Amino acid sequence: MHRIRRRALWVVVVVGVTTLGLLAMSTIPAWPVVGVAVATLAIALGSITRSVSPSICLGCGHDVSEVPAGAHGRICPSCGALNERLVGEHVAETLADATDQPPEPDARA
């Protein structure tokens, strides 16, 4: 995950510096240059994050689809990274199980 974030940060920095340099060194109007920069960022960040999948470990890229999910997500067997984006699914399953049980009687009654 750190590798993906670092790569995305560098893309944003490089496109930003290139845009500022182009605007500072030329007489090109700013709006078309900024529009092209934003489009470039959207395409580049989309291609970087395309490989992120819930069944792939964010740390090493190992397939974690067969690993059972715990209370905090799935733990990668090869690197030990905790994949937390599955927490919402686990919480939803726990809440569904909890609503199937009959309510406890009120102790004050």
Q: What is the pLDDT of residue 37?
A: 92
Helix, strand, coil tally for the chain in percent (to 5): 55, 5, 35
pTM of the model: 0.54
Predicted local confidence at residue 38, as pLDDT: 92
Is the distance from CB of 108 to CB of 90 less than 8 angstroms?
Answer: no
Q: Of 100, 58, 51, 66, whose CA–CA distance to 83 is shortest?
A: 58
Binning pLDDT at 50, 70 and 90, where does residue 86 land?
very low
Residue type (1 letter), 73:
G
